[in-house]
């Protein structure tokens, strides 16, 4: 008999597919497995009728007991509408499913968290919120994934207001946590503090705005965020509510020009713009600059060019040093939140995750190693413990 693993490892006879990614994905990347034995009639009577009725009655009397007697306490819904998938854009729910399956196996491999992909056939904010609220009794947390801005902001906000389980948009907050960890270690390498640095974030989408907010929370010295029309500042009248809110608390230098002006003399560049940035812009940065060019698959500047002007360079790609990879953050963040049955993920929990991640390699930092490798077995336990402790400090833990 051919197993699913064997089936997925090679194409059927006569199949013209030669792409190894297509071969790897054949049959999908997930399956359902039991956590209890089902060997005989006694096990069957416990797993299903009549024994399961006792569990149902216990939960009916105390709904919170579902976290003790079902998979809820260790299971996350990975929810998308397929509108902002990787660098592919709005490709729809069906085409997004391989990414959501991938996210689910990363949750399991790197955090011990079970995750279920849910691709929704709607782009309507009200329908998405209503659907996830109705699904929530089956899960201990919700990871929003690849939902386009600015809709993602409202969806996350409304879901967290409606639910008493963590709701986390990884494209925003996972990216922000790992960027902060990278900058803490880059600053450590140069003997500097975040409070003495001026940073520029190129890109004011979901991830750019979240990175800006976490840098502010961590005490960055000054920060300018640029969208496609230039620097966000208080005088602009074309900003959506999220950008307007950020403009009110950033850009103390009063920069009103474009990205080139914002980058002049800056200590840090974080690229989340999805487009190339001319090399001469980087030439105007301060000596010893840090460049995190995170757009995928094509970073804003290639590392070889960036190193002419920067002491530390990172990208979002695995084939260059210093990969800024969300997988370093989200599995441990959810594992920590679920461990203490947190009702939400707070800013304090995100900051704690970033600090724990940075500290994993605190004594090993070099210009080409400001973050641990995603397969470093120290990462998930450190982030999990830090997030759980922060949840207790912030008063959102329930055990």
| Cβ atoms within 10 Å, residue 298 | 15
Q: How many helices (H) and strands (E) does the chain have?
A: 17, 10
For residue 190, what is the DSSP state? T
Six-digit token string for 5: 């693993």
Q: What angle do CA 174, 311, 301 make, to 5 degrees?
A: 65
Contact 114, 139 (CB under 8 A): no
- Give the closest residue to 140 by CA, choosing from 36, 67, 208, 242: 67
> Is-catalytic flag, 24?
no
Residue 47: partners with Cβ closer than 8 Å, 6 or more residues away? 36, 38
Q: Whole-angstrom Cα distance, residue 127 to residue 353?
A: 32
> Is-catalytic flag, 103?
yes
Of the residues 24, 29, 48, 69, only one is catalytic, namely 48
Of the residues 24, 29, 69, 103, only one is catalytic, namely 103
- Give the closest residue to 76 by CA, choosing from 8, 122, 145: 145
Q: What angle do CA 214, 399, 107 make, to 5 degrees?
A: 55
Angle between helices 170-189 and 347-360 (to 10 degrees): 50
Point out which residues pair with 77 in neighbouring strands.
Answer: 116, 142
Point out which residues pair with 286 in neighbouring strands.
Answer: none
Active site residues: 48, 103
């Amino acid at each position: 008999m051919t197993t699913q693993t064997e089936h997925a490892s090679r194409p059927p006879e006569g199949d013209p597919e030669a792409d190894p990614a297509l071969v790897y994905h054949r049959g999908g990347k997930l399956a359902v497995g039991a956590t209890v034995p089902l060997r005989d009639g006694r096990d069957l009577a416990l797993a299903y009728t009549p024994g399961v009725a006792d569990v149902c009655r216990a939960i009916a009397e105390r709904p919170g007991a579902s976290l003790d007697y079902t998979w809820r306490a260790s299971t996350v819904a990975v929810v998308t509408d397929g509108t902002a998938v990787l660098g592919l854009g709005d490709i729809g729910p069906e085409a997004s499913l391989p990414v959501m399956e991938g996210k689910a196996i990363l949750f399991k491999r790197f955090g011990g968290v079970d995750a279920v992909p849910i691709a929704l056939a709607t782009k309507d904010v009200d329908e998405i919120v209503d659907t996830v609220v109705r699904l929530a009794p089956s899960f201990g947390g919700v990871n929003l994934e690849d939902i386009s801005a600015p809709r993602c902001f409202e969806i996350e906000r409304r879901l967290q207001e409606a639910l008493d389980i963590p709701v986390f948009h990884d494209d925003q907050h996972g990216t922000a946590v790992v960027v902060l960890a990278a900058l803490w270690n880059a600053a450590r390498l140069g003997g500097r503090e975040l409070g003495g640095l001026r940073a520029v974030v190129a890109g004011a989408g979901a991830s750019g705005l979240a990175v800006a907010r976490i840098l502010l929370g961590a005490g960055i010295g000054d920060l300018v965020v640029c969208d496609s029309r230039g620097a966000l500042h208080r005088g602009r009248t074309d900003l959506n509510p999220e950008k307007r809110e950020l403009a009110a608390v950033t850009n103390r230098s009063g920069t009103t020009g474009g990205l080139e002006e914002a980058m002049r003399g800056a200590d840090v560049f974080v690229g989340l713009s999805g487009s190339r940035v001319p090399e001469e812009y980087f030439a105007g940065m301060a000596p010893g600059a840090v460049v995190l060019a995170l757009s995928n698959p094509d970073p804003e500047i290639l590392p070889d060019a960036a190193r002419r002007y920067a002491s530390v360079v990172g990208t979002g790609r695995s084939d260059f040093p210093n990969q800024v990879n969300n997988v370093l953050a989200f599995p441990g963040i959810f594992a920590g939140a679920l461990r203490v049955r947190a009702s939400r993920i707070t800013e304090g929990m995100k900051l704690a995750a970033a600090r724990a991640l940075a500290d994993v390699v605190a004594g090993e930092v070099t210009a080409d190693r400001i973050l641990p490798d995603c397969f470093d077995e120290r990462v998930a336990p450190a982030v999990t413990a830090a997030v759980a402790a922060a949840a207790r400090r912030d008063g959102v833990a329930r055990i």
